[in-house]
Amino acid sequence: IPDFGHKYYLQFSTEDYWTGENAGSCLATVLYPRKKSPPVVSIKCSHTKDQKEIQEEDNRLYQRIRQQTKPITGSNIPDSYGNIEPALEPAWALAVAGSSSIMWEKSTEDLGYFLAQVKSVKQWMRKDDFLEFDYTVLLHEMPTQEMISCHMRLTWLPGHPLREKHFCAPQKHRLEEGSGLGSGSATGLSEERGTNF
Amino acid sequence: HQVLRVVPSSQEELQRLQELQGLEHLKLDFWLAPRGLGTPVDIRVPFPSLQPVKAHLEANGVSYSVMIEDVQELLDEEQREMTRSSRRLPLSTSAFNYRVYHTLDEIYAFMDMLVAENPDLVSKLEIGRSTENRPLYVLKFSTGGSNRPAVWIDTGIHSREWVTQASGLWFAKKIVEDHANNEGVASILDTMDIFLEIVTNPDGFAYTHSTNRMWRKTRSKHLGSICVGVDPNRNWDAGFGGSGASGNPCTETYHGPYPNSEPEVKSIVDFVKAHGNIKAFVSIHSYSQLLLYPYGYTTTPVPDQQELHELSAKAVAALSSLYGTDYKYGSIITTI
């Protein structure tokens, strides 16, 4: 759109992360204004699962984690060979959900991400019913090919939106370009971003 | 099961421990039996007996420590170690496990076995040495002739893309099998040679095993920077330094100080130029499921754009016909 930015029209289908089953399809428009601000997104999806089914699955995941006798800890999920221990699958699942929030926030018209690996996970036990996890996740950035390390703190209770707070290590190539301040600044050590979704 | 350690410091404590030995129903397993004062006593305690044993010790003021929290965990770990090491010695390419990732040594051993098993078809060439002086090996598949037109395939140019080196191993075996069964690529071998470089970046590959699973580049060092490595796939002399590459040595797409600065890349260039008859050049990467042809650095189409596009369409259709695998195709710049 001349003098304004780029508008994208998208049609895509979604699938269940574990089973690969079709989970619905979406129609969306994404508008990137010329200046670097977050895009304007409008999206409409049809879901193959109903609310009740989703709730039941959430509860099953929640119970599976609560039933563990010790706080969950782990590292390198999946390992170098692509394997995930069954006992760590729930922690992995929450990492996928939480890091999608990070990726949503970090993505731009020219930069995209994939979750490459959970470097470490540690569960914090709480007095209330919420689950709380500390993660270090590795995001694969495209097209730069960089592996970005992010620290993520995640809390969840079924029926409530997943909440996460994160801080990603500053990016090397931005440091080189000399522009000191911005979201990638090395001085921003106390900076934290997060979303509820 | 847990393993508890007690160091008896008095005759009474020693007696308590000896008593425990007599209690058959607890099914205790003394790894180190009570002998005297000051010598450790190690007891493997099955889960149902943990409570009573600990209670007994505590009630009598006998201090203990938990030496092993979970014996099963250790056993599982050991099992994993053993399955990993048991595959260190396949004696033939038929016994080789194509479904697991291998180390550099295992891959080099595979190459030698393949050549030994098929001396009339396969030979191993050394086209150069890496920065850390590792040999750069290329397998040549040929049914004869002299400097026949040839296809080049490389895998593992980016060391962290482990599925590509693994695929290269599989390709090698497949070519040999097809030839033996006179199907698949056998007809190509009637008139053409195939060159296959399985570990195109051996320094990087060794590094992914020893230190950093996510290492992509070579391991060359550069004056003026503490950062190591050049992206070999930005080091070619085509649109060098253009968009998609970085001039910063600390980045994953650093193109290097000048084209072909990396021995891993220069060796290939020298080989292809010296050969003079390479008709197709295929480089394998992961992940994505894309079939791509030039260019990546400009939107200007290649002269044979139409032919390449039609060829890609056919290749992707053939691939899909087997198991429905879905690949997108096009020029690099329009597709990625």
Please report the ipTM that was assigned to this predicted complex: 0.82
Least confident of A61-65, A154-158, B1-5, B175-179: B1-5
Rounded Cα distance, B115 and B135, in Å = 16
Buried b (16+ CB within 10 A) or exposed e, B159-198: bbbbebbbbbbebbbebbebbeeeeebeebbeebbbbbbb
Q: Is A173's CB within 8 Å of B100's CB?
A: no
The predicted-structure confidence for B283-322, as pLDDT tens digits, reads as follows 999 999 999 999 998 999 999 999 999 999 999 999 999 9
Quote the pLDDT of residue A20. Answer: 84
Dump pLDDT digits (tens) for B319-330: 999 999 999 999
Which of B35, B65, B215, B137 has its CA nearest to residue A146?
A: B215
Compute the nearest-CA separation of A51 from chain B (Å): 31
What CATH number labels A69-170? 3.10.450.10
Closest by Cβ to B253, choosing from A81, A138, A145: A145
Q: What is the pLDDT of residues B8-57, one digit of tens each?
A: 888 888 888 888 887 888 888 888 888 788 888 889 898 888 888 888 88
Range B2-69 has CATH code 3.30.70.340: yes
Question: B2-69 and B90-205+263-288: same fold?
Answer: no
Closest CA–CA distance from residue A110 to any residue of chain B (Å): 11
B65 to chain A, minimum CA–CA distance in Å? 19
> Which residues of chain B are within 8 Å of residue A86 when distances are taken between CB atoms?
none
Contacts of B48 (CB under 8 A, 6+ apart): none
Which pLDDT score is estimated for B84? 62
Q: What is the pLDDT of residues B224-272, one digit of tens each?
A: 999 999 999 999 999 999 988 999 999 999 999 999 999 999 999 999 9
DSSP for B69-109 reads: S-HHHHHHHHHHHHHHHHTT--SSTTTS-TTS---HHHHHH
Question: Which of A79, A173, A174, A175 should one mutate to test binding to chain B, selecting the residue with the greatest count of B CBs within 10 A?
Answer: A173
Q: What is the pLDDT of residue A178?
A: 32
Q: What is the CATH number of domain B90-205+263-288?
A: 3.40.630.10
Higher pLDDT pick, A116 / A37: A116
Q: What is the largest CA-CA distance in chain B?
A: 94
CA atoms within a 13 Å half-sphere pointing along the CA-CB vector of A66: 15
Domain boundaries, chain A: 1-48, 69-170
Average pLDDT, chain B: 93
pLDDT band (50, 70, 90) for residue A55: very high
Mutation target for A interface from B251, B285, B297, B325: give the one with most A CBs within 10 A: B251
Q: CA of B141: how far to CAs of B118, B124, B146, B187, B189, in Å?
A: 10, 9, 13, 13, 8
Which residue of A145, A149, A179 to mutate against B (max B Cβ within 10 Å)? A145
